[in-house]
Amino acid sequence: MGQGVTRFDYDDSTAARSDRARAPLAVAIFADQPFLRAELADDVTAAGLRVARSHTLAALLDDPDERAVDDLVLVDCPVVDAAELAALSQLDMRAARGGAQVVVSTSLDSLEAVFGCLDQSQPDILVAPSRADRMIALGRGLARCGLAGRGNRVCELDDEDRLTLLRLTEQVSEIARTLARLSGEDDADGGGGTVEDKVSAFRFDTADGGGARERDDGRLARAIRPPLPDPRLIRRIARQRQLRARFFEGDLFADPAWDMLLDLTAARAEHARVSVTSLCIASGVPPTTALRWIGQMTDAGLFRRVEDDTDRRRAFIALTDRAADAMARYFADIGVGASVL
């Protein structure tokens, strides 16, 4: 094991599990900047959690097979190389097996590579985050761990719970950003922009979602899905939505879920692939917020992750079949045909 890295073994005995359930959650911090490690440690302690480890990224590379799985792992890697990506992949696998929550902050330039290697633990990925962003991510990780002092098992949430949690965390994030600006600690671009509290709920019904429909004779018949509209029309709708920001405050109409659905629908009609960075841009919200939405939309069965066959470090985002079906039926219901422009 690398020098200075402590291994934390979990005893599965009943007494040990009871002691662990009463103890504060253990947090590991990996960041190269000393001031950031100190800041994260202060925030972790203030949240009532325990800093189990605090090291540079090099410690993340040491002896990956023996790397302990803490309850919550915070990693800052604005620039990543091949070795660090491999270490992140190992951490991703171990966290998925052990039930740990992972929060990784990176830059927009490194987003594709970081997103591509984290595909198992459902990590919270932040792009150029402010301190407020990190605190919100810490709170989300805490909620997923089952609240402080309840051990390191992940709570299962249904789709409605996830959307409720998203709404709540974005409201808290709005408050945190406001406090950060008032205290003067927010950077020039607001640490990634304002977080909008705008939730779109999606419901898929078998009768409306491309499944079986009841015929007049009482038997079931397979419904035929209408074709997707011409992608040029979808792109025009997206541009018209963006045009409103010229005349009104952009945040007034922010709807990242719908903007991403439009972008992916057009891409599907074009038989094109969409990178996570491109989708973040199409969302019209800061990358960290967009990534949060991508995660929620994936959990809700609307988006799916598609690995790049030629580069395992890269991944794309696409509509699921039922989401494409719902979009096709939506455009059909509003009278938009495949040839209408």
- Same structural domain, 145 and 273: no
Distances (CA, A) of 139 to 13, 35, 77, 91, 106: 29, 21, 20, 20, 19
* The pLDDT of residue 200: 38
- Same structural domain, 231 and 117: no
Specify the length of the chain in residues. Answer: 341
* The pLDDT of residue 175: 58
Query: What is the mean pLDDT of each successive set of 10 residues along the chain, which is 341 residues long?
Result: 42 48 77 93 85 89 59 92 90 87 94 92 91 84 59 47 55 60 50 37 40 45 71 91 84 88 95 94 91 91 91 88 92 66 34
* The pLDDT of residue 214: 42
Residue 137 forms part of a structural domain: yes
CATH code assigned at 269: 1.10.10.10
Which of 62, 63, 88 lies closest to 73 in space, CA to CA?
88
**Neighbouring-strand partners of residue 50:** 26
Asked if 208 contacts 223 with a C-beta cutoff of 8 angstroms, the reply is no
- Same structural domain, 26 and 94: yes
Average pLDDT, the chain: 75
Residue 277 forms part of a structural domain: yes
Residue 44 forms part of a structural domain: yes
Q: Can you tell me the distance from the alpha carbon of 271 to that of 148, in angstroms, rounded to the nearest whole number?
A: 46
Residue 203 forms part of a structural domain: no
Each residue of 310-325: pLDDT tens digit?
877 789 999 999 999 9
Q: Which of 156, 171, 197 is where one domain is finished?
A: 156
Residue 50: count other Cβ atoms within 10 Å of its Cβ.
15
* The pLDDT of residue 220: 41
Residue 190 forms part of a structural domain: no
CATH code assigned at 106: 3.40.50.2300
Residue 303 forms part of a structural domain: yes
Q: Which of 115, 136, 156 is where one domain is finished?
A: 156
- Same structural domain, 225 and 123: no
* The pLDDT of residue 173: 62
Residue 284 forms part of a structural domain: yes
- The parent domain of residue 273 ranges over 212-333
Each residue of 280-301: pLDDT tens digit?
999 988 999 999 999 989 988 9
Domain count, the chain: 2
Q: What is the DSSP string of 148-216?
A: TTS-SPPPP--HHHHHHHHHHHHHHHHHHHHHHHHHT-S-TTTTT-PPP---------TTTTTSEEE-T
Answer yes or no: pTM beyond 0.75.
Answer: no
Residue 187 forms part of a structural domain: no
Q: Which of 156, 190, 223 is where one domain is finished?
A: 156
Residue 207: count other Cβ atoms within 10 Å of its Cβ.
10
